Amino acid sequence: MPKYFFDFSDTGESSPDEAGTELASFEAAKAEAVRSLMEMTAEVPLGGTHRELTMTVRDESGRNLARAVITFEVRVLD
């Protein structure tokens, strides 16, 4: 079974996945990236006016395969 790595980034501050996860397919890896990012989004304290959270999927060779992105932006309305 192929191993995929899920690297998290919060507005440029990266947390690489050193362990990886064995999954049956690339489709399963994409779904895991989205699920993980949604869970992490609920735990991240909001601050400032802009925040970008990303989960990058890479393979065992280190090649980036996909990236899920959630962007928060606070806009002051007049």
pLDDT at position 48: 65
Range of the domain at 59: 3-73
> How many structural domains are present in the chain?
1
Task: Look up the pTM and report it.
Answer: 0.83
Q: Tell whether 26 is covered by a domain.
A: yes
- Tens of pLDDT, residue by residue over 57-78, are 999 999 999 999 998 877 778 7
Q: What is the pLDDT of residues 27-46, one digit of tens each?
A: 999 999 999 999 888 777 76
Tokens of 75: 């806009």
Q: Is the residue at 50 inside a domain? A: yes
Q: List the beta strands (DSSP E) in the chain.
A: 3-10, 13-15, 21-22, 50-58, 64-73
Query: What was the pLDDT predicted at 47?
Result: 66
Domain assignment of residue 20, yes or no: yes
Q: Is residue 78 part of a domain?
A: no
Confidence (pLDDT) at 60 = 93
E strand intervals along 11-63: 13-15, 21-22, 50-58
Task: Tell me the residue type at 10.
Answer: D
More confident residue, 10 or 73: 10
